[in-house]
Structure 1
């Protein structure tokens, strides 16, 4: 994506956001610890982390549904803590899932209802709803009841609901969860289009390939703290993950658990994964400081047939797992 002056404009600025909850026994639990995240115009910022890391809590705070215990939050230069109603006009939230609509009403009736709640001007309502349904490829199903929709269609309808507000900031919480590959690809295409139209997007997902394909920047959360941020290449550089070497060896020379244990025992090796193709394993070895050579790896694995195939930059999944394995 080409950079321009607009890309420097921060539309979501969260500084040192903290939030705790009290459980049924009256015990407080800190969910977010001084989390700072910025989102810019024409940018997709991905927030990653395991379940319970605090991603959805942060999304709810960023949407003004929750108030933080401390920290500051601004949306389009509006103080979202002092003026949540004013800030809310500039943000659209997608939580997704099978609920959130009146299932026995048509898609278009649902969107008219939510357009009214969002204070969409009456004279713009028809055009906005038609345009939103067209963008998510549901215009031909506009008059069908939502209960007849597949899960993928409902997810697209959630996006249409967010689009009609024409907010510059979109908060998308796992928009492709539970979808088959075809529907997930459709959703990713729509999200990419919205970024190219100038929207700033904060996206949570458990799909590393999705985050890698869409993200301009990444924030990795663990136990309510941001433990890594930046582009994939920057994070890889920060953790000294220098690259990935690819080797092949015959099926009978790869002993899986034992072979991985031997490789991970080498100081410079940060991660190992394998994939079976025909009668050979392709072994991806993530490394830092010193690139492992064919002779050394062959000796460690006692594999006379090991062959070096090539090298590549680490993927987001390899970067993420390398960070998490050290937690």
Structure 2
């Protein structure tokens, strides 16, 4: 891939913060939010950036869209350096983040888009046609006269996307766009993103929803504790755990530390995670496929009231958990 084919280039990006702790004897502390992150995104590609909370995803995006300066390293968007040529970068990008920030609640959707069209320098004669085109495409036509304070979470996210597309950006940063959105609205938003990419827009997406990343992304990078842990297509990442069996066991009482230690020490077992769903825990075991492994797993859980036991193919979520688990990262910084 030549430089002309690249939309985003990140090379050794680092970002540190200085904080003070304590009151009587305050101490300065340096936190490294991003540590030497490097990757490239091709034009027209949908690139996913996955990682736990506090892993450095949003900090990385903010460096790429000029909201933060890198402490070290460099980045270019469409050939323009984010540190030395930020104005040219901003003219070519859009930024959409999850949540309620970034809109004026007491204004209507139409007035919000008019305001941002002026802010983004959209030609006056193009503003209304562009706004009505976007309202139609995001499914808000007919509701544009209502105040945003009465909008649902899904409607707000659609308006966020419309706002980010007003100036026809070549690169769009989507930071958890479907967070807190109901399943129907999330499906509509995913289709909108897929349509944007099909039309030639380059998209960098962060999300916590593995199925969403698997469905949408051409390539994915996994970041944890500020460093890049893995990169590849969804299939390539899943191939990392394809050799493993995944066994899910419903447990109707909490598994004790001793039982979990025994399970993790069972020959062939590579990883164990526990997810609480109401009164039931789901113990997920990644193990080498071999005769007797399932029996050994159930023996380690002896004494607990178990329910449904399921064996399945590994998913992108399994690959993600394996990558994060292997790095020892929690996402807390």
Displacement of 1:301 after TM fit? 2.7
Which residue, 9, 12, 33 being the options, matches 1:13? 9
Instruction: Select the residue among 124, 141, 147 that pairs with 2:149.
Output: 147
Q: Which residue of 2 aligns with 1:187?
A: 189
Q: 1:81 to 1:213 in 2, by over 3 A?
A: same
The separation in 2 between residues aligned to 1:62 and 1:210, in whole angstroms, is 23
Map of 1:301 onto structure 2? 298
CA contact (8 A) 1:271 1:318 kept: no
- Corresponding position of 2:177: 175
Per the TM alignment, residue 166 of structure 1 is displaced from its structure 2 partner at its CA by 0.8
Partner SS for 2:160: helix
For the 8 Å contact 2:171–2:203, the answer to whether it is kept is: yes
* Correspondence for 1:278: none
The normalised TM-score by structure 1 is 0.83
Are residues 1:321 and 2:321 paired?
yes
> Is the contact made by 2:237 and 2:316 (CA closer than 8 Å) also made in structure 1?
no
Alpha-carbon distance between aligned partners in 1 of 2:69 and 2:254, rounded to the nearest angstrom: 52
Q: What do residues 65-84 of structure 1 show as CA deviations (whole Å, max 9, x unaligned)?
A: 11111212111112222110
* Cα deviation 1:203-258 (Å, max 9, x = unaligned): 111222222222211111111111111123323445x5524356899x99x99668
- Alignment deviations for residues 19-40 of structure 1 (CA, whole Å, 9 cap, x no partner): 1111135422211111112222
The alignment status of 1:99 with 2:73, answered yes or no, reads no
Give the 3-state SS of the residue equivalent to 2:142 in structure 1. Answer: helix
CA-CA distance at 1:300 after TM superposition: 5.3
Alpha-carbon shift at residue 52 of structure 1 (Å): 1.3
Equivalent pairs, count: 310
Structure 2: unaligned runs, 5 residues or longer? 21-26, 276-280, 303-307, 329-333
CA offsets 1:42-87 (integer angstroms, 9 cap, x no match): 3221111111111111111111111111212111112222110011
Q: What's the secondary structure of 1:23's corresponding residue?
A: strand
Q: TM-score, normalized by length of structure 2?
A: 0.81
Q: Tell me what 2:198 maps to.
A: 196
Q: Is the 8 A contact 1:244 1:284 kept in 2?
A: no
